[in-house]
Structure 1
Amino acid sequence: MENNVKEVACHSENVTSCRKSHHPERVKKDLTTRLNRVEGQIRGIKGMIDNDVYCDDIITQLSATQSALNSVAKILLEGHIKGCVVDRISEGDDEVLDELVVTIQRLMKK
């Protein structure tokens, strides 16, 4: 992951209100670029299936696509921990730790 990932920060405006992330434009652009690449990979996989490409080759592309999605998730998780989680703990909201455990468990299922 790039050094600028440390700048990813999301903040809870109010625990009871709708929470939003606040990422620097550079990080948003990086995430969008990565997701656009994943979108292209998915279209490519669909084309491979339409063209009856050998299954092992499709599985290889699926693996690469999953890896790319995992990379996006890692960037977001790091920003969430360094931003949201730290902020909410400093505000006395320890429930964020339970939320974080659930989030990590969801990521590990994949």
Structure 2
Amino acid sequence: MDLPSYKDSSCCSPSEEGRKSHHSDQVKNSLVSRLNRIEGQVRGIKGMIEKDVYCDDVLNQIASVQSTLNGVGKLLLEHHLKSCVIERIQEGDTEVLTELIITMNKLMK
């Protein structure tokens, strides 16, 4: 599923509740759809455990979920870099780079 152009919407705009992302409906629907599939996969793994499915089969399913979740993270990170980060740097907010490095370190654990 392709994501739309990053110029479709502004990201990380200040609001009364703090910073918020402003994803287009297409981006949001894509991310939610992927997360719904992951949720179903996790429920499937739970069922496998409950049914005493062979450990290697369960571990392979866990690896699949981790890979899919990493894919969601990559898409979100790409969108964040191409919109939020660029926007904040253009506004003179270089603190976003420190924030980004901390976040990327968490993602790479």
In structure 2, list runs of 5 or more residues that go unmatched.
Answer: none
Q: Distance in 2 between matches of 1:29 and 1:16?
A: 24
Q: 1:14 to 1:96 in 2, by over 3 A?
A: same
Q: What is the Cα deviation at residue 27 of structure 1?
A: 1.0
Corresponding residue SS for 2:21: strand
Q: Distance in 1 between matches of 2:4 and 2:70?
A: 15
Counterpart position of 1:12: 12
Q: 1:103 to 1:9 in 2, by over 3 A?
A: farther
Q: Distance in 2 between matches of 1:27 and 1:15?
A: 20
Q: What is the Cα deviation at residue 52 of structure 1?
A: 0.2
Corresponding residue SS for 1:14: strand
RMSD, aligned α-carbons: 2.0
CA-to-aligned-CA distance 1:13-67 (integer Å, 9 cap, x gap): 2399611011111111111110010000000000000000000000000000001
Greater relative CO, 1 or 2 (CA 8 Å, sep 6+): 1
Task: State whether residues 6 and 78 of structure 1, in contact with CA within 8 Å, keep that contact through their aligned partners in structure 2.
Answer: no
Task: State whether residues 38 and 68 of structure 1, in contact with CA within 8 Å, keep that contact through their aligned partners in structure 2.
Answer: yes
In structure 1, list runs of 5 or more residues that go unmatched.
Answer: none
Counterpart position of 1:105: 105
How many pairs does the alignment contain?
A: 108
Q: Distance in 2 between matches of 1:63 and 1:76?
A: 20
Corresponding residue SS for 2:45: helix
Q: Distance in 1 between matches of 2:94 and 2:13?
A: 16
Query: What is the aligned-residue identity percentage?
Result: 53
Which residue identity does 1:35 align to in structure 2? L
Q: What is the Cα deviation at residue 10 of structure 1?
A: 5.3
Q: Distance in 1 between matches of 2:78 and 2:103?
A: 12
